[in-house]
Structure 1
Amino acid sequence: MNKMFLLGLSLFCLLRGGEPKLGKKVKEVVCATCQKYRKGFCLEREGTCVTKVKKGCRSQSVYEYSQEVKGWAYTYAKMECVDTCGERVIFMAWYRLVNICCSEKNRCNIKNALA
């Protein structure tokens, strides 16, 4: 019986990719990265980055003030890995940034891009 248990444990470890790890494993999350995301497509530097769950993925939507519409117009979103999300909304003279962070699943920041 013990031999069967050890054989089963050995196979399990091999299939998992190595020795069993002691303690809690910190979960990693894969974030989408893109310098300019608009209308569901990445226009510049598409990729991914890996971060820890306690940190996160950020989608930062950029709005510029438009004289034509006399208000804020969406221009693009930037997606990246971050240590801290920062302020939810940052107002500047001619633009504003809307930060939305997540870490619940891989590439969660795509759905937060306000495009």
Structure 2
Amino acid sequence: MRFIPVDTTGALVMVAQEPRLKLKNRQTGEMATDAETGVPLMTLDVTFVANGQADILSLTVPQPGIPEGLVPGTLVALTKLIARPWENEFNGQKRSGIAFRADAVTATVPALAGAKG
């Protein structure tokens, strides 16, 4: 599967929503796990600001790579962030997008003043 390394040098990355377990199947409630290690996967939404533009990215991160206490407003660093294009078809309708995955997230400073968790 192809993937694209994402350069985070000079980017400002801030937690937008607290981490949550990633669902594999929304209908059954089955949780997603890493195919190689079997560890649970988490979803973390971050605000990614680079080159004068801000985007909200929804990242997949193995649970051991998520530290305790990540709340909205916390500035973070991302380890080995990659972008992976995807495409699927369901009921004759094609969908595509980009999935983002990081090996780990590290808090760089506490949550910004006034941010609520």
What TM-score, normalized by structure 1, do the two folds share? 0.24
Larger Rg: 1
Structure with the higher fraction of residues in strand conformation: 2
Structure with the higher fraction of residues in helix conformation: 1
